[in-house]
Amino acid sequence: MSFEQALPYIFLLLMALSILIYAILDGFDLGVGILLHRSSRTHRNQMIASIGPFWDANETWLVLAVGILLIAFPTAHSIFLRELYIPVLFLILGLIIRGVAFDFRAKAVTKYQNLWDQVFRLGSILATASQGFMMGAYVTGFEDSVQAFLFSCLSAICITAAYAYIGGAWLVLKTEGELQQYAARKARTAGWFTGLGVLSICVANPLINPQVAERWFSLPAAILLLPIPLTTFSLMLVVDYYLKKVPWNNDLGCWIPFTAVAGVFFMCLVGLAYSYYPYVIPNKLLAVDAASSSKSLSFVFYGVAIVLPIILIYTLFSYRIFKGKTTALEYS
């Protein structure tokens, strides 16, 4: 395969990578938004402070993922956004209101702060639920039926739970005391719903797409694939055990839940990617057929090859600056 022929696959991989990073990074800040404590303002301030320096950059990974879809597979981009016009609208609306709520709450009159916190929470849920709905619609191949709609709704709930799961795990890492225990309890509940979501996609996916069924259950693929669900569910059990015992002495292993949940996200993405590769829209559109001209792709490729490592380095740098338990957020 020549470099030019490989380009669509390289971009497919890049898109998967940015979706994964997006789901983990914006995942935790959306999750913190979903879990925003209802009663205590001190807790709310701490929760917001734990994501304050990061949320802007985290959201950029979504722009990159949509950007790659747009740049590398314009036809797929058009189909995707036409089919999902209304869910996309709600996703954008959610992201808008939570972004502005975040900034207004810090600057606004104190009496409005509770209101902005609620807007932030609502925006986060709206964004995650729309993403879940979109994913459900994607898996069912944009089918227009009651079952497909119900499946998308289930997916909306489970993806929201998955974000709350990683958000709770993030709070366990970044906070301590009462708030950490609150986060651990919520994350545990969210974990069970996430597990339900993973299971339902595992069941529904081969039922809807015969091609997926064949890929999953034919030998020897079935045996080779077995580690994916096994790792996923064992990671979830580890997380569940850890969260049950919070607080640990000296905060031992406070990074475990977050890392393990990130691992769960990775495994789920690998599973989905294996099911559909090399399609960019399941059973409808091959990546190669949807790809832009190779001149455009190679022009972007060189940029990505140079810039993406730099982006990763300074992203790490920014997380290092704010490492450790969260302290109160102050504008310089």
Partner 1 sequence: MLETFLLSRIQFATNISFHILFPSISIALAWFLFYFKVRHEISGHPVWLRCYRFWVKIFALTFAIGVVSGITMSFQFGTNWPGFMERVGNIAGPLLGYEVLTAFFMEATFLGAMLFGMKRLPSWVHTLCTFLVAIGTSMSAFWILALNSWMQTPQGHIMVDGVAHPEDWVQIIFNPSFPYRLLHTLLASGLTASFLVAGISAYRIWKGDNKLAPKVALKAGIFTAAVLIPLQIFIGDLHGLNTLKHQPQKIAAMEGIWETQNGAPLLLFAIPDEEQRTNHFEIAVPKLASIILTHDSNGEVKGLNEFEGEHPPVKAVFFSFRIMIGVGLLMLIVSWLVSWFLVTKKTLQKKTLLTLVSMSFSGWVATLAGWYVTEIGRQPYLVSGVLKTSEAVTNLPPSNVLFSLIVYVITYTLIMVAFLHTIFYMARKSAAVPEFDLSDLNSGTSLTNYKGKGVNSNNQPIGESA
Where does this chain bind partner 1 (CB under 8 A)? 52-54, 56-57, 59-60, 62-64, 66-68, 70-72, 74-75, 77-78, 80-82, 85-86, 88-89, 92-93, 95-97, 99-100, 102-104, 106-109, 292-293, 295-296, 299-300, 303-304, 307-308, 311, 314-315, 317-318, 321-322, 329-332
Minimum CB separation of residue 75 from partner 1 in Å reads 7
Cα-based distances in Å from 82 to 33, 77, 86, 201, 236: 28, 8, 9, 24, 36
Cα separation, 239 vs 259, whole angstroms = 9
Minimum CB separation of residue 56 from partner 1 in Å reads 4
What stretch of H or E contains 169?
Answer: helix 146-174
CB 70 within 8 Å of CB 77 = yes
Nearer to partner 1, 13 or 70 (CB): 70
Bin 316: left if φ > 0, else alpha if -120 < ψ < 50, else beta: alpha
Minimum CB separation of residue 63 from partner 1 in Å reads 5
Tokens of 252: 């031992």
What stretch of H or E contains 201?
Answer: helix 177-208
Cα-based distances in Å from 203 to 72, 143, 151, 281, 321: 31, 17, 11, 20, 43
Nearer to partner 1, 22 or 242 (CB): 22
Nearer to partner 1, 146 or 321 (CB): 321
CB neighbour list of residue 127: distance below 8 Å, 6 or more residues apart: 30, 91, 94, 95, 98
Minimum CB separation of residue 251 from partner 1 in Å reads 21
Cα separation, 274 vs 72, whole angstroms = 20
Minimum CB separation of residue 202 from partner 1 in Å reads 30
Return the bridge partners of 285, or none: 281
Minimum CB separation of residue 319 from partner 1 in Å reads 9
What secondary structure does DSSP assign to 89-143, as a single string? HHHHHHHHHHHHHHHHHHHS-HHHHHHHHHHHHHHHHHHHHHHHHHHHHHHTTT-
Minimum CB separation of residue 244 from partner 1 in Å reads 33
By 3-state DSSP, what share of the chain in percent is helix, strand and coil, each rounded to 5? Answer: 80, 0, 15
Nearer to partner 1, 59 or 184 (CB): 59
CB 166 within 8 Å of CB 255 = no
Nearer to partner 1, 107 or 244 (CB): 107
Q: Which of 275, 269, 141, 272 is nearest to 213 (CA)?
A: 275
Nearer to partner 1, 71 or 281 (CB): 71
Nearer to partner 1, 86 or 226 (CB): 86
Nearer to partner 1, 17 or 196 (CB): 17
Cα separation, 233 vs 151, whole angstroms = 22
Minimum CB separation of residue 277 from partner 1 in Å reads 22
Minimum CB separation of residue 283 from partner 1 in Å reads 21
Cα separation, 209 vs 283, whole angstroms = 8
Nearer to partner 1, 113 or 181 (CB): 113
